[in-house]
Structure 1
């Protein structure tokens, strides 16, 4: 059975635009997913990237256009300039880490719910009530938002270190075996790889 390590950021628009396609691919091939939320700005700093606000204006402008094109192509609602971006991604990431450890719900639904809250619903994913609502919608105990904060912080930091060591430089990023796939627009390639066609 294939194993997919999924590195992502809860504030990443492209993680949002990945939707639930990774989960559908994994189900098709009986693959398991390990969700690894990380500090995307920290990752950029460690791997030669820049936070969107620090990029040249031409890159910032293209990013907005590309996000809107991708959303239109996928039929997904998206506000390219959400009210609560950037925000602190750590609390929502800790909730994902706690939920994955606890089990009993759907981590993919949780991740998509959090990213959708930011990029389509004008909600602040650093706020407890938003995180709790996403946990409930994904079938988890909302109290997970308050549990395991130290373990969450440690895992969140460890995910960043692991990502850097494995050649991850953006989000979403998928690794299965020795194969790496960067971006929601490479999910088709991941699918073909798992099918033995790429």
Structure 2
């Protein structure tokens, strides 16, 4: 059975634009998924990337065009300048980790609810109220937002270390057990083909 390690950031617009396509691909191929939220700014710092706010205006202008185009292409609501971005991504990341450890809900839906809260719903995913609502929507106990902080912090840091070790430099990145990496929601089609054995 194939396995996918999903390295992502809860503030990433590209993770939001991925929707639930990863889960659909995994189901189609009988693959399992481990969700590995990480600190994308720390990942940039360790792998030679530049945070969005420090990029050249040309790059930022293209990013704005591309995000808007991708959202339109996918038929997804999208705010290019959300009310609560950037914000602290650790609390929402810890919630994903706690939910994965607890089980009983839909992790893909949880991740999508969190990223949708940022990029479509104008909510702050650093706030407990927003995180609890996302947990509930995905079938998890909303009290998970208040638990597992130590384990969450340790796992969050470990996810970053693992990402760097495995060659990840951006998010979302889909790492499969064959050693292949697929960076970006626009590479999900390639991931699908790889799992099908045609790429």
TM tier relative to shorter chain: over 0.9
Q: Which residue of the partner structure matches residue 184 of structure 2?
A: 183
Distance across 2 between alignment mates of 1:149 and 1:175: 26
How many residue pairs get aligned? The number is 198
Q: Which residue of the partner structure matches residue 135 of structure 1?
A: 135
Q: Which residue of the partner structure matches residue 151 of structure 2?
A: 151
Distance across 2 between alignment mates of 1:52 and 1:63: 9
Distance across 2 between alignment mates of 1:56 and 1:20: 31
Distance across 2 between alignment mates of 1:147 and 1:83: 27
The offset of 1:55, in angstroms, is 0.3
RMSD: 0.4
Q: Which residue of the partner structure matches residue 48 of structure 1?
A: 48
Q: Please tell me whether residue 26 in structure 1 is matched to residue 26 in structure 2.
A: yes
The offset of 1:9, in angstroms, is 0.2
Distance across 1 between alignment mates of 2:43 and 2:131: 23
Query: Which TM-score applies when normalising by structure 1?
Result: 0.99
Distance across 2 between alignment mates of 1:167 and 1:145: 30
Q: Which ranges of structure 1 fall in alignment gaps of 5 or more residues?
A: none
The offset of 1:3, in angstroms, is 0.3
Q: Which ranges of structure 2 fall in alignment gaps of 5 or more residues?
A: none
Matches within 5 A, 1:100-119: 100-119=100-119
Q: Which residue of the partner structure matches residue 79 of structure 1?
A: 79
The offset of 1:105, in angstroms, is 0.1
Moved beyond 2 Å, runs of 4+: none
Query: Which TM-score applies when normalising by structure 2?
Result: 0.99
Distance across 1 between alignment mates of 2:80 and 2:45: 23
Distance across 2 between alignment mates of 1:17 and 1:47: 23
The offset of 1:129, in angstroms, is 0.2
The offset of 1:104, in angstroms, is 0.2
